[in-house]
Structures are given as structure tokens and as C-alpha cells.
Structure 1
Amino acid sequence: MLSKALKELKEFARKEGLYGKKILLMFSGGKDSSLALYLLKNAGLDVSAITFIHKWSWKEPLPHMLKFTASMGVEHYIVDITEGLLKNAIGKKGPICIHCKKVMMKNAYWFAKVNGFDIIAKGDNANDKVKGALLDQWKGDHRLSNLPRIGIPILRPLINYTAEEVEILAEEARIRVFRMYEYGRRRQWREGCPLQYIDKEQIIREEYLDLAYEANYEISKIARKYKVRMSVRVPSFEIMCHGCNNEILKEANNVIKELKRRFANASSGKT
């Protein structure tokens, strides 16, 4: 399946004139973006990776991401978007991911323009909402489009593969990603950053960003210890878990109880 995917990508790249173009891949270090990087590089395309981080990003996966891009022999840029995220998200209604994605796309565009990249690439697959809601408006091949209209073409080498097919391809390519053992989103196990666990309808406040990181970092210790998938929403402190038993939930609730106490004290101005 992997050799077929590479053959199809090479044929597509020749047809669309991608050889000789500079491609900037938005690289999160997850399975999708890692597979996209693997395919683009092994198809002989000129690809570099860019990773956006902020104050509340997970620290643990970054060394593994850098090791992977180094093994692929691609340049890897790290850009901090903390200031832009605060400016565009605080005081607005969640979910925060909507605001964060806009900041990342804007930064990707300007980074690409300033540094001479011709195309921005993403790891979207066929299960992502972009496949229907956005790309149905595009009459051409969904792998390369001008949607969203940011002024530079977007390449999506995985857009015709389902999440399950991405898993198979990644396994065949021997791609291993670092796990924080988050609860993840939707059916596929997609980790991201702790800020996605701020309650969706919440008006975003900076203290919630701090709380989301602290709470989920503590919960991730338990999740990694027992190899279950677990996260906690804030400020509701709702625990979400795949694979938890009563013992694990009891341990998690003890952590949450202490976090609630500290948050209540901080909110009331106590020390």
C-alpha cells in the first residue's frame, strides 16, 4: 500500500509541476503530518517542516519530532505563536482550536512568503471536516487547492486516505509518534495540545489556558502510567477516559480534587 501511495504521489507531483517547487509542511509531529512528510520526502519533493508552538504546548513530544525530521533529512523550523494566540483568542467564545488554526495559517503564509516557499502542505485526511465542508467547493483535485484562500496553494497528500488507511500506511512506513495519552478527538486517536480541552462554549480567559495545561499535564502522568487515554475539561473538570477502571478514576479524581481547590483559591485571590 505504501509503494502504491508513493507512486501515485509522484505521478500527481509530475502532473502538477511540483518538482522544483519549495513546499512547507505544517508539522505537528502526529501520525498524519509525519506520514505526509515521509511521503513528500520519499517522493523526491523539496519539503521542509514548520512546527508552531506556544506557552502551553506539550514539551515532551518536541525532541521526538526533531529526531524524526532529522532522520528524514529535512529542515525543521519552530515558530512560537503565543502572542498571536493570546491576541486572537482571549475574550472570544471557544473552542480555542478555531482561533489557533487561524493564527497558524496566517503565520504559515507569511513564513512561506518571506522564505521563498511556493506551497503550504498539511496532513489533512479524508475523515477531516475540510474534506466536505471546504473542499467540496473546489472543482479540481482535492490534493492541491487554493482553499482556504490565503494567497498560496495548499497541498494535502493524505486527503484521499481515511484515518484507518493512514494508520496502515504509517505502520508500513514504521512511523512511531510520541504519545501523551490524551483522550484525543473523534474516533481516531488524535492528540494535539491541552488547550483543546477548555470547555467548548466557554469564553476564553488566559487563566483557563494555564489551567488546561496544568490539569492535563497531571492527568497525562496517570494516563501514561496505566496506558489509557485520558484528559480533563476545564473549568468544568470533567474527566474523559478510554480504558479506565475504578482504581484509575479514583487516582485521577484525587488529582482533580486538589486542582479544583487550588483553582478556587486562585480565583478568589487567596494564597
Structure 2
Amino acid sequence: MITEAVREVREFSRRAGIDKKRILVLFSGGKDSSLTLYLLRKAGLNVSALTFFHRWSWEEPLRWAMGFTQELGVEHYLVDITDGLLREVTGRKGPVCINCKKVMLWNAKWFALNNGFDVLAKGDNANDKVIGALLDQCEGDIRLCGLPRMGIPFFRPLIKYTAEEIEALAEEAGIRPYRMYEHSRRRQWREGCPLQYIDREEIVTPALMDLTYQVNVEVSGLARKRRIRMSVRVPSFEVMCWGCDGEILREVREIISKFGGNEGEASARKT
């Protein structure tokens, strides 16, 4: 499968005229963006990686991502978006992710244009395709979108692959990103950053962002040790877990109590 995927990327790039262009991959260190970077590199394209982080980002996946690009021999840029994220989210209601993606997208555009890149690449797959989304408003093959509004085309080499196919491709390529054992929104590994667990409709403040990070760093340590998937919403302290038992829930409630959460009132959603 992986050999065929590399061949398809190489042939499509030639047909689309981007095989000689400088391509910048928006690289989170997750499975989709890692596979995108891997395929483009193996296809012989001129590719670099761009990773955004902020002071609430997971540290371990960032270190893994840096090691991955080093192994591939790919130039890797790291950009701190803490200040821009604070300006965008402070005083607004959650979820933070919508505004964070906006910050990253526009920073990626200007970083690419100011540093001589011709194309931005993303790890979107077939399960991410939402009708009406910005990148689906493109003519022709949806793998390459030339968007006048952005001023730079987007290349999505995985957009026709399902999440299950990507799992198989990544496994064949030996791509195993570092996991924080987050609960996530689906059973597939869709990890992000701790700030996604700020309660909806909550007014976002730097103190709330700090608390959400601190709680979930400790909870992820327990989840990794127990090999289950778990996260905690803040400030409600709702426990979300795939595979929890009573003993694990008691342990997580002990963690919550250290941060001012009421052990007796903290709700648990076992899924």
C-alpha cells in the first residue's frame, strides 16, 4: 500500500505541476500530518515541515515530531503562537480549537509567503471532508486547491483516504506518533492539545487555560500508565474515559481534588 501511495503522490505532483515547487507541510506530529510528510519526502518532493506550538501544547509529542523530521532529513520550522492565541481567545467562549486553527492557518499563509514556499500541504483525510469548508470550495481535483482568498494553494494528498486506510498506511511505514492517551472525540487517535477540554460556553482566561493544562498533564500520565484513554473537562471536572474502571476513577478524582475539584461532585462519563 505504501509504495502505491508514494507513486500516486509523485504522479499527481507531476500532473499538477508542483513537483518542482517548495512545499510546506503543516505538521502537528499526529498520524495524518506525519504520513503526509513521509509520502511527500519519499516521492522526492521539495518538502519542509512547519509546527506551531504554544505554552499549553503537549511537550512529548513535540519532541517526537522533531525526531521524526530529523530521521526523514526534512527541514523543520517551529513557531510559537502563544501571543496570537491569547489575543484571539481571551474573553471569548470556548471551544478554543476553532480560534486556534484560525491563528495557525493565517500564520502558515504568511510564513509560507515570506519564506519562499509555493504550496501548503495538510493531512486532511476523507473523514475530515466537510461540505462548505474553506478547502472544499475548489475546482477540479480536491487534492490541490488554489484559493485566491489565501493567496497560496493547498495540497491534501490524503483527502481520498479514509481514517482506516491511513492507519494501515502509517503502520506499514512504521509511523507511530507519541500518544498522550487523550480521550478525544472519537475512538480513533485524534489527539490535540489540553485546551480542547475547556468547557463549552466557558469564558476563556489565561488562568483557565493554565488550569486545564495542569489537570490534563497529570491525567494523561495516569492514562498512559493504565493504557486507557482519558481526559478531564475544566472547570466542570467531568471525567471522560474509554475503558475506565472504578479504581481508575478513584485515582483521577484524587488528581482532580488537588486542583480544587470536588471529588464527590466530579462527574464521570465512561464510554
**TM-score, with length taken from structure 1:** 0.93
Structure 2 CA distance for aligned equivalents of residues 187 and 18 of structure 1: 35
Residues 52-90 of structure 1, C-alpha deviations (whole Å, 9 max, x = no match):
000111111222111110110100010000000000111
Give ranges in structure 1 of 5+ residues lacking alignment. 263-271
Give the structure 2 partner of residue 237 of structure 1.
237
Structure 2 CA distance for aligned equivalents of residues 240 and 44 of structure 1: 42
Give the structure 2 partner of residue 52 of structure 1.
52
Structure 2 CA distance for aligned equivalents of residues 60 and 28 of structure 1: 12
Structure 1 CA distance for aligned equivalents of residues 142 and 220 of structure 2: 36
- Pairwise CA distance, 1:93: 2.0
Equivalent residues in 2 for 1:134-149 (5 A)?
134=133, 135-147=135-147, 149=149
Residues 187-239 of structure 1, C-alpha deviations (whole Å, 9 max, x = no match):
42111100011112222111111011001001011101101110001111100
Residues 149-199 of structure 1, C-alpha deviations (whole Å, 9 max, x = no match):
321111111111111111000001110110111112324211110001111
Give ranges in structure 2 of 5+ residues lacking alignment. 263-271
Give the structure 1 partner of residue 39 of structure 2.
39
Give the structure 1 partner of residue 170 of structure 2.
170
Structure 2 CA distance for aligned equivalents of residues 247 and 148 of structure 1: 55
Q: Where does structure 1 differ by over 4 angstroms across 4 or more consecutive aligned residues? A: none
Structure 2 CA distance for aligned equivalents of residues 147 and 19 of structure 1: 19
Farther-moved stretch of structure 1 (186-195 vs 172-181):
186-195
Give the structure 1 partner of residue 265 of structure 2.
none
Give the structure 2 partner of residue 217 of structure 1.
217
Equivalent residues in 2 for 1:111-122 (5 A)?
111-122=111-122
SS of equivalent to 2:124? coil
Equivalent residues in 2 for 1:1-271 (5 A)?
1-128=1-128, 130-134=129-133, 135-147=135-147, 149-260=149-260
Structure 2 CA distance for aligned equivalents of residues 187 and 147 of structure 1: 33
Structure 2 CA distance for aligned equivalents of residues 34 and 208 of structure 1: 31
SS of equivalent to 2:51? strand
- Pairwise CA distance, 1:136: 4.4
Identity of matched residues, %: 61
Matched-pair contact (CA < 8 Å) for 1:125–1:131: no
RMSD: 1.5
Matched-pair contact (CA < 8 Å) for 1:228–1:244: yes
Return the letter of the residue paired with 1:189. Answer: W
Structure 1 CA distance for aligned equivalents of residues 122 and 76 of structure 2: 15
Structure 1 CA distance for aligned equivalents of residues 138 and 62 of structure 2: 34
Structure 2 CA distance for aligned equivalents of residues 149 and 226 of structure 1: 47
Structure 2 CA distance for aligned equivalents of residues 185 and 43 of structure 1: 33
Matched-pair contact (CA < 8 Å) for 2:139–2:145: no
Structure 2 CA distance for aligned equivalents of residues 146 and 94 of structure 1: 31
Matched-pair contact (CA < 8 Å) for 2:58–2:194: yes
Residue-pair matches, total: 261
Structure 1 CA distance for aligned equivalents of residues 164 and 18 of structure 2: 27
Farther-moved stretch of structure 1 (40-49 vs 147-156):
147-156
Give the structure 1 partner of residue 268 of structure 2.
none
Structure 2 CA distance for aligned equivalents of residues 148 and 187 of structure 1: 36
Matched-pair contact (CA < 8 Å) for 1:212–1:234: yes
